[in-house]
Structure 1
Amino acid sequence: MGAAYFYHLTDSPLERTLPMLLGKCREAGWRVAVRGRDAGLLERLDATLWNDGFLPHGMAGGAHDADQPVLLGTQVPAVGFQCVMSVGGADVTVDEIGAAERVCILFDGYDEGALNHARGQWKALTTAGCKAQYWAQEDGRWLKKAES
């Protein structure tokens, strides 16, 4: 069974944190699904991944989805991916955490709605028995603040 890693973004924006995490996942040899609720956010992330370091990836719905090392979309299923990344409040399930090596939930630390949504996800997932870690940024470094 995998684990959920919650990333509370305060020092670095999503556009900088996501490529760093994706790079680590790719170094581990993992395929990654990046799931969001907002197509506009995913399009911005798509542009960032092409322009800031050229991380090979694709947007879901293309002819080569099965070949993409990183696939972004609003409806990307977790099947076939070792890691699922939730951005912009996309939900993840207990089953997805059980099937993946890791599920990462990235949320904006300055958005009260995003904070409340992440708190709700933490409670639901840990109550269901999922392993979870909560990471926060302090002075540009990631520190593990909680683990279940």
Structure 2
Amino acid sequence: MGAAYFYHLTRRPLEETLASLAGKARGAGWRVAVRARTDAMVERLDDLLWLRPEDGFLPHGRVGGDHDAEQPILLTTLTEMPNGATCLMSVEGAPVGAEEVTALDRVCILFDGHDPGAVQQAREQWKMLTNAGCAARYWSEEDGAWEMKAESGT
């Protein structure tokens, strides 16, 4: 049974945090699906992951290609994860279901702490997931380093 980790971004940009978390997930041997709400975000993240030689290349693809099932990191707007992901990363408030949290090793929900709408959306996701019995952890970087500020369930 997995858990949902909420990442409240206030210092580092989404792209930097996502790349770091995706690299760690790959280091743990997990296949990753990155779910966004818009194709524009998928394209932005695709460009970012191709253009980050300073930290090393993260092999990935965009959903809809010939080799979706083989992608270690798959960028998508869909709920399906044809790459057999064991870790889901949600950006832009993309939906996450309680059944996904319990079925996957990890779900990461990244949200912009400077956007009141994104903060409200994350609060609603936290409430929905924890009310459904999912384990959840809330991480904040307000002091410069990631620190767990709240935990629900186990």
CA RMSD after TM alignment = 1.0
1:116 is the counterpart of 2:88: no
Aligned partners of 1:60 and 1:76 also within 8 Å: no
Q: Secondary structure at the match of 1:54?
A: coil
1:136 is the counterpart of 2:140: yes
Q: What is the Cα deviation at residue 81 of structure 1?
A: 1.1
- What is the aligned partner in structure 2 of residue 63 from structure 1? 66
Q: Secondary structure at the match of 2:12?
A: coil
- What is the aligned partner in structure 1 of residue 102 from structure 2? 98
Q: Unaligned 5+ residue runs, structure 1? A: none
Give the Cα–Cα distance (whole angstroms) in 1 for the partners of residues 41 and 100 of structure 2: 22
- What is the aligned partner in structure 1 of residue 80 from structure 2? 77
Q: Which amino acid aligns with 1:67?
A: E
Q: Secondary structure at the match of 1:141?
A: coil
What is the TM-score when the length of structure 2 is the normalising length? 0.93
Give the Cα–Cα distance (whole angstroms) in 1 for the partners of residues 34 and 68 of structure 2: 13
Give the Cα–Cα distance (whole angstroms) in 2 for the partners of residues 73 and 132 of structure 1: 23
Give the Cα–Cα distance (whole angstroms) in 2 for the partners of residues 77 and 107 of structure 1: 21
| Identity %, equivalent residues | 62
- What is the aligned partner in structure 1 of residue 30 from structure 2? 30
Q: Which amino acid aligns with 1:50?
A: W
Q: What is the Cα deviation at residue 85 of structure 1?
A: 0.4
Give the Cα–Cα distance (whole angstroms) in 1 for the partners of residues 146 and 58 of structure 2: 22
Aligned partners of 1:35 and 1:90 also within 8 Å: yes
What is the TM-score when the length of structure 1 is the normalising length? 0.97
